[in-house]
Structure 1
């Protein structure tokens, strides 16, 4: 009791605990990342829970111990000196760890004057996001702790060399995997500084299932499978284009406006341009199909295109007659078959002709395989690039 009475009578909170005031105090600090509470990529704000374990020698308190005191005793922080530090890269007005009121915190003091103080508090710091490999991105964050007193008064050092290589945080995060937790000492101007750095690797399964996989399915529907007779090809292609625009806006709302742009944004932008080209090609193939009803001649280059892309021998096209009886159509079909046989047997000049329907079918077939190949190559390149992210 006399120990506490003497401290309350003569508090030491404003006096550095060294007899020779010209010498600095060495404070051994152990910074531990307890957990990452949240991380906002758009604003680059990191909310983390930090444990600061500090040890120093108080020469003045040592003199208050009587010979009978042999155990460690708790001392209120308001009665003695304790090292102060600030968070250098904070994004709030509060530059200290958010803890309970100091009057309820205590420092454990040993008879030899060794003081130990353990602080658990929240820090809100700036951590700029690198979203190039989103949703398989890896973020590197640092928290800077700076001493409130200059180097000639307080020197901060790590507790031990073993502490400099912690592997992970004490508690796991549902969205991020914390790795490579390191601590290093530095100085800013004439003040001691300790930096705790760590890497956060995103757990991508949720985002893959809700963003990447639906995107692949959506892009695979952008193909020329719908027949012209359905009358819905243009509206279907425009709907796919609008769906990709909406999808791009959804992704943009989650990501910060930073450079470089993420790979998934680049992927959607390429798919958006491809979808615009699909709309144009859909209109072109429909115009080809409509020309067949106007009996317009097929230019020679389209005939060459059909002959190159067609896998079967061309059949002689039959002109469409809309207002004839079924019997007249059958008779005309028989005559055309007879002419085909005669042309094959003895008339070398009777060559099969190409209609606009043949051109439309060949164009659809060619465009289908072209866009299917482009989608496959683009998907493979996207996954290769995103899986080869640096660790």
Structure 2
């Protein structure tokens, strides 16, 4: 094995065998006079194109660790996660070792990364060109342990589910793998435990940005490509969106507008203000949706869009209800048609007290200001058979008919308002339950 290394007769130090078979030891006897002599490492630098092993049948074990220091962007339209990682790689280089006692107590040296062999670790989900800055250094221990740390901006594919926006949680994967070396040449391991990676990452990004880190888990499946088998480590990164921005800017204003629309039912139905007010409110809600459209995901159908569509539908339904009641009141005051017997009976049932005794059959009629002789469809048609009503009697009859239709309009207004409140409450509770799950 020593014959593979070229002879360097001009070096002030050389790679000498230390009695450990094919392991090399650096002679650093001149460090006290000239500092670290680069010529001592030249033989190692010349072999940087080769995997640093003394026995090529033994795979190199590379330990991986990373720190998630920032979540820069989550693109729901392109299904991409952009994050900033500090990646730490550690492996053994048996060609580099020295005795600290003979080297002024030096236990670790820093060497430019461009002079050493580096493992070709990459992230499978990455969609951009390697944005790792160049010119970093490695730290080498006296036992030949090499540690290489590099920052990296990673734009990776992530299957985003935005249905629960803005209360959504996303699970993205970061898979570290070698591009060239199979399991016969390289094995991957962990330099830190997963909980250590999670805690350190949380401390770094705990109060920053729109997203917060929930957890990091790992799996170690093998990657099979044809007849080749590659080792890999898959990290599952769970993140959660902070919804406060969207609650304040989207949900709260929308809730206020719907509440104002519900309270507008208390405006007098006979007045001319309810319809214009509801139309103005509906236009304002549409302007609100247009202004807040940039805060919503560009693709998919999140639950919040269903919520907005539901609120808009409720406001349109309330406007249609007001138009219907206004039409009934207009019809009642201009040319009221005869009221059918079944509708008159239903009106008496709805307007009469619930505990009406058998001896008080006409209490509901009195509440309407009507006498039994003036109720359409009851006694009046019988009494008027063969008679021609006078002007006074016809006027009273029309007046009572108007009162009946006005009362019916109020009853319908109350009924539709209660149905509106019931449907709104059920819809909002359903949306909240879906969000909470």
TM-score band (shorter)? 0.7 to 0.9
Question: CA offset at residue 3 of structure 1?
Answer: 4.3
2:177 aligned counterpart, secondary structure: strand
Question: CA offset at residue 243 of structure 1?
Answer: 4.2
Question: What is the distance in 1 between the residues matched to 2:234 and 2:254?
Answer: 40
Question: What is the distance in 2 between the residues matched to 1:316 and 1:63?
Answer: 108
Question: CA offset at residue 75 of structure 1?
Answer: 0.9
Of stretches 69-78 and 281-290 in structure 1, the one that deviates more from structure 2 is 69-78
**Structure 1 pair 139–234 and aligned structure 2 pair: CA distance change class (3 A):** same
How many aligned positions are there?
357
**Structure 1 pair 78–218 and aligned structure 2 pair: CA distance change class (3 A):** same
> Unpaired segments of 5 or more residues in structure 2?
1-34, 354-363, 381-396
Q: In the TM superposition, what are the counterparts of 1:202-217 in structure 2 within 5 Å?
A: 202-217=241-256
2:266 aligned counterpart, secondary structure: coil
The answer to whether the 8 A contact 2:65-2:197 is kept is no
Q: In the TM superposition, what are the counterparts of 1:132-147 in structure 2 within 5 Å?
A: 132-147=163-178
Question: What is the distance in 1 between the residues matched to 2:180 and 2:202?
Answer: 29
**Structure 1 pair 135–310 and aligned structure 2 pair: CA distance change class (3 A):** farther
Structure with more contact order per residue of length (Cα contacts < 8 Å, sep ≥ 6): 1
- Per-residue CA deviation, residues 199-246 of structure 1 (Å, 9 max, x unaligned), is 112222232222112222222233323334432433333344444445
Question: CA offset at residue 80 of structure 1?
Answer: 0.9
Question: What is the distance in 2 between the residues matched to 1:250 and 1:191?
Answer: 50
Find the structure with the greater CA-based Rg.
2
Structure 2 match to 1:384: 433
Aligned alpha-carbon RMSD (Å): 3.2
Structure 1 match to 2:103: 68
Q: In the TM superposition, what are the counterparts of 1:1-391 in structure 2 within 5 Å?
A: 3-8=37-42, 10-62=45-97, 67-68=102-103, 70-92=106-128, 94=129, 96=130, 98-101=131-134, 103=135, 105-151=136-182, 152-161=184-193, 163=195, 166-167=198-199, 169-171=202-204, 172=206, 173-189=208-224, 190-223=229-262, 224-248=265-289, 253=294, 254-258=296-300, 261-300=301-340, 301-310=342-351, 313-314=364-365, 349=379, 354-387=403-436, 389=437
- Per-residue CA deviation, residues 109-166 of structure 1 (Å, 9 max, x unaligned), is 1122111112222212222321222221111122222213222222211125565873
The answer to whether the 8 A contact 1:31-1:51 is kept is yes
The answer to whether the 8 A contact 1:298-1:355 is kept is no
Query: What is the TM-score of this pair, normalised by structure 2?
Result: 0.72
The answer to whether the 8 A contact 2:174-2:237 is kept is no
> Unpaired segments of 5 or more residues in structure 1?
318-336
- Per-residue CA deviation, residues 281-315 of structure 1 (Å, 9 max, x unaligned), is 22211111111222323432443443343366455
